[in-house]
């Protein structure tokens, strides 16, 4: 699990993590601090959002990315394990006050479950980036095949079918390549960062 951190337009510090309890119930914790480092007690409950929704649908989740959109909403990405035990890319959306945005995706969460399209295959969310229209671009590793998957969601958490094929691009990679980050340039072009291992004889 990664600890995530962003700074909003007011200089407030937002951080999020996923946490496991003793009974293996996983939940998300989001804190907000003022620019002077003190807890922002106007956020959530005393400065913290304790979110465990959707645990009835997914075994647990891991968080890998946090971005803020133009409205100050917190877009948090990671992956969940479905009841069939496959990884599925997941994006949660919280309003600036820390409440879940129920208008986003399905009750605040958008899930890309690849095994619905290709039985036995998962999608592990690695990173996210936003464009000027707050569309959410996501890079995933596809398992168990050697693929990267780029997804595009509109700001309301619905796949943007104008992008790629029905909102996604699948790109074949070799077994020696790994990708981890995504960004967009000022022309809206998508940049995906990774590395490749070269073996010399």
pLDDT confidence of residue 109? 93
- Averages of pLDDT over each 10 residues, the chain, 201 residues: 82 89 71 96 94 63 91 93 81 95 94 78 89 95 79 97 93 75 92 76 64
Give me the pLDDT at residue 144, please.
Answer: 63
Decide: pTM greater than 0.75.
Answer: yes
Within 8 A by CB and 6+ apart from 196, the residues are 174, 176, 177, 178
Whether 151 contacts 113, CB under 8 Å = no
> Which residues share a beta bridge with 15?
5, 31
8 A C-beta contact, residue 1 and residue 63: yes
Whether the link from the prior residue into 21 is cis, omega within 30° of 0, is no
What pLDDT was estimated at residue 105?
95
Domain regions of the chain by residue span: 4-196
Strands (E), 25-82: 26-33, 48-51, 61-68, 74-81
Predicted local distance difference test score (pLDDT) of residue 94: 97
Residues 6+ positions from 14 with CB-CB distance below 8 Å: 5, 6, 7, 8, 30, 31, 32, 33, 66, 68, 74
pLDDT (0 to 100) of residue 59: 56
pLDDT at residue 124 in the model: 84
> What is the number of other CB atoms lying within 10 angstroms of the CB of residue 40?
19
């Amino acid at each position: 699990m990664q600890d995530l951190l962003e700074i909003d337009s007011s200089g407030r510090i937002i951080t999020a993590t996923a946490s496991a309890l003793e009974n293996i119930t996983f939940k998300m914790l989001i804190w907000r601090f003022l620019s002077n480092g003190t807890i922002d007690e106007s956020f959530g409950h005393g400065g913290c959002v304790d979110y465990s929704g959707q645990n009835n649908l997914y075994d647990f989740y891991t968080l890998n990315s946090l971005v803020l959109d133009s409205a100050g909403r917190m877009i948090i990405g990671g992956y969940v394990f479905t009841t069939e035990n496959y990884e599925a890319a997941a994006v949660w959306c919280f309003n600036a006050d820390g409440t879940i945005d129920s208008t986003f995706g399905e009750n605040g969460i958008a899930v890309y479950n690849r095994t619905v399209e290709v039985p036995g295959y998962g999608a592990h969310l690695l990173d996210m980036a936003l464009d000027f229209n707050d569309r959410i671009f996501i890079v995933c590793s596809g398992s168990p095949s050697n693929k990267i998957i780029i997804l595009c969601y509109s700001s309301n958490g619905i796949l943007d079918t104008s992008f790629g094929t029905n909102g996604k691009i699948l790109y074949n990679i070799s077994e020696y390549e790994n990708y981890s980050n995504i960004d967009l340039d000022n022309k809206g072009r998508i940049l995906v960062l990774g590395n490749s291992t070269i073996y010399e004889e």
